[in-house]
């Protein structure tokens, strides 16, 4: 008997509805305060972005656990999501972004080794306009690190960049995810069982 299966969008909305919420403006202002702090402390754009990326990375690592615990993606559950190829990962990623950030994303490019995700609303940059002397700062680098951290926990070594950003004058935000390699599951060689 074929079990009933749900679309990823439906599941994502279900997950989002169940999540306890926090005010998006408080979130945006808090992130803004952090970036302002980093600008004062670290000065160069490269260092600021590296720090944001690192923070996003560790947030992503924690989010994966919560996502897997709450999303129940096992084959026997009522889920239409299976990741047989890397590009299918984008569907699950879209679910996670909806669940944590409440944003609806659109799939952009879908190739074997890279895909992109587009979104109109960026909760990080709610009240933001970049000053002229920081116009090339990638303000939303945290999101790139976030996605990189999540996928790393799923054994994908990826490079994430903001291909387009509304803050820099593009029509839409677009995150590009490039697959470097699939990591080996399990512990390393030097791990020995007692």
Partner 1 sequence: MNRLSAPTSISVNILDRPIGGRGSRSTSEQTVSLSMFSYLYSEIVQYHQNRVDSISELERKLEATGYGVGLRVLELLTFRTKDYTRETSLMNMLQFVSTTAWKSLFGKAADSLERSIDHADEYMIVDYAPITSTFVSVPADFGGLSVDAYISGMIGGMLDGAGFPARVTAHSVALEDVVLPPRKEKAVFLVKFAASVLERDAHLS
> Given the rule CB under 8 A, which residues bind partner 1?
16, 19-27, 29-34, 36-37, 41, 51, 55, 58-59, 62-63, 66, 99-102, 120-121, 123, 127-129, 142, 166, 169-172
Output the smallest distance, CB 176 to partner 1, in A.
17
Closest CB to partner 1 among residues 163, 172: 172
Return the closest-CA partner of residue 13 out of 117, 73, 76, 97. 97
Give me the sign of the Cα torsion angle 59, 64, 90, 185: positive
Q: Contact 89/83 with Cβ under 8 angstroms?
A: yes
Which residue's CB is nearer to partner 1, number 3 or number 23? 23
Report the DSSP beta bridge partners of residue 161: 176
Q: How far apart are CA 14 and CA 192, in angstroms?
A: 42
Query: What's the CA angle centered on 108, arms 174 and 13, to 5 degrees?
Result: 85
Shortest CB 138 distance to partner 1, Å: 16
Minimum CB separation of residue 5 from partner 1 in Å reads: 25
φ/ψ (deg, to 5) at 73: -100, 15
Residue 31 CB, nearest distance to partner 1 (Å)? 6
CA distance 3 to 5: 6
Q: Select 56 or 160, whichever has its Cβ closest to partner 1.
A: 56
Whose Cβ is closer to partner 1: residue 41's or residue 111's?
41
- The answer to whether the beta carbons of residues 27 and 123 sit under 8 Å apart is yes
Nearest distance from residue 171's CB to partner 1, in Å? 5
Least Cβ distance, residue 62 to partner 1 (angstroms)? 6
Nearer to partner 1 by Cβ, of 103 and 179: the residue is: 103
CA angle 145, 15, 101 (to 5 degrees): 35
Q: Which is nearer to partner 1, 62 or 134 (CB)?
A: 62
Q: What is the DSSP letter of 113?
A: S
């Amino acid at each position: 008997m074929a079990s009933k299966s749900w679309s990823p969008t439906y599941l994502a909305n279900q997950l989002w509805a169940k999540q306890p919420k926090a005010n998006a403006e408080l979130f945006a202002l808090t992130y803004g305060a952090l970036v302002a702090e980093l600008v004062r402390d670290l000065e160069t754009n490269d260092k600021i972005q590296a720090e944001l990326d690192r923070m996003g990375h560790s947030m992503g690592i924690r989010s994966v656990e919560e996502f897997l615990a709450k999303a129940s993606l096992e084959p026997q559950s009522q889920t239409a999501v299976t990741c047989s190829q890397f590009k299918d990962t984008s569907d699950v990623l879209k679910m996670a972004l909806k669940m944590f950030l409440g944003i609806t994303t659109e799939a952009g490019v879908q190739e074997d080794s890279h895909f992109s995700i587009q979104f109109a609303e960026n909760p990080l940059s709610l009240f933001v306009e970049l000053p002229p002397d920081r116009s090339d700062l990638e303000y939303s680098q945290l999101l790139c690190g976030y996605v990189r951290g999540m996928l790393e926990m799923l054994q994908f070594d990826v490079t994430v960049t903001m291909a387009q950003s509304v803050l820099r004058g593009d029509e839409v935000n677009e995150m590009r995810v490039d697959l470097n390699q699939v990591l080996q599951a399990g512990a390393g060689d030097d791990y020995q069982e007692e």
